[in-house]
Amino acid sequence: MAIEVREAAKDEQALIETLLDEYLQESSPFREVAVGATDAAGYPYLPYYWSEVDRLPFTIWSNNELAGFALIRRIGDDHGWVMQVAEFFIKPEYRRQGIGKAAAVALWKQFPGRWELQVMKGNRAAIEFWSTCVKAQAQGWHMDEILADDGQRLCFHFEVR
């Protein structure tokens, strides 16, 4: 199976919008508090992924078919740069085939260093997926609980070399 992670061109924004709708609808039931976007039209950050240097949009392909997307951002803190998985989605029909893990690893290898990502505490499938990916690839990782506007989340902090 050929898996490819490509930086999304501006003309691919509509592809990501379609997947973002599905992703936000799927993740909405895991929110403890109903705040934030529930569809791509209500997601204010998407256009910035093509205009701000520290936001990076990616499409994920399996055998030349669109399988998902990832939105990555780079932020600075007291210790330098941290890469964040802001949004990550694999279409249901492409799950449990290793595509998501391969895509995550490809992104981490492209941007070695410190990373973090958040998962809603009630989303057991996402917690299991990310735990498996992070444990297999990262060094020096830990996880803590945070309270976000939409409820409890687990935040993974890790480093990829």
Q: Set out the domains of the chain in order of their start, with CATH numbers.
A: 3-160 (3.40.630.30)
Report the mean per-residue pLDDT for the chain: 91
106-123: per-residue pLDDT in tens?
999 999 999 999 999 989
CB 87 within 8 A of CB 57: no
Phi, psi of 66 (to 5 degrees): -65, 120
Contact partners, residue 41, CB within 8 Å, separation at least 6: none
Which pLDDT value is given to residue 148? Answer: 83
Interatomic CA distance for residues 73 and 82, integer angstroms: 8
Q: Has residue 77 got a pLDDT over 80?
A: no
CA angle 137, 143, 146 (to 5 degrees): 140
